Amino acid sequence: MTAAAIPPGPKSAPAEVHLRPRAPGDFDALAALWIESWTEAMPAIDFSARRDWLRAHLDALEAAGGETICAFDRDGRALGFVTIDPRTGYLDQIAVAAQAKGSGVAGVLLDAARRASAAPLSLEVNQDNPRALSFYRREGFVTAAEGVNPMSGLKTWRLQAG
């Protein structure tokens, strides 16, 4: 398990974030924060109905060589997670718990994904997700292409690490 210091944010930030691979008992906590995070970003979509999809998706990503890197506070509470294909650099999911937003956890997770990947990172982001777009721009990502999310039908941007 590794610990990374994070800069103080506007909210009460944890003193350190512990990173580790997803373990079998983590799913419920990760699913809860994923649903909460996505519901805040895209309230018109019922993400709780996608819980089973998320379980199957994470399992499939990991079976194909992907990694799910989880962030926990010192008391073991889930703060977020990121999924990365270390061969291609494709970042499939990133989610941060509401209480950790603005605390630097997303940056810690993104840095962990960068370290895990042999290739520059790339990802799809919904065009109607200004918070995520702002975060990725601050982190140096640039627009590479336009697309459509196959599940929601919403327009996306393909971003690449600059």
**What is the residue extent of each domain of the chain?**
2-119
- DSSP assignment of 14-68 equals -SEEEEEE--GGGHHHHHHHHHHHHHHH-TTS-GGGGHHHHHHHHHHHHHTT-EE
Specify the CATH number for 2-119; select among 3.30.930.10, 3.40.50.970, 3.40.630.30, 3.10.180.10. 3.40.630.30
- Residues 114-138, buried b or exposed e (16+ Cβ, 10 A)? bebbeeebbbbbbeebeebbebbee
**pLDDT greater than 60 at residue 14:** no
Percent of the chain past pLDDT 70, that is, above it, reads 91
- State the Cα–Cα distance between residues 77 and 127, nearest whole angstrom: 30
Q: What is the pLDDT of residue 45?
A: 87
pLDDT in tens, 82-104: 999 999 999 999 999 988 988 89
pLDDT in tens, 32-82: 999 999 998 888 889 999 999 999 999 999 999 999 999 999 999 999 999
Q: What is the pLDDT of residue 15?
A: 58
Tell me the two tokens of residue 87.
């061969």
At residue 75's C-alpha, the angle toward residues 113 and 139, to 5°, is 25
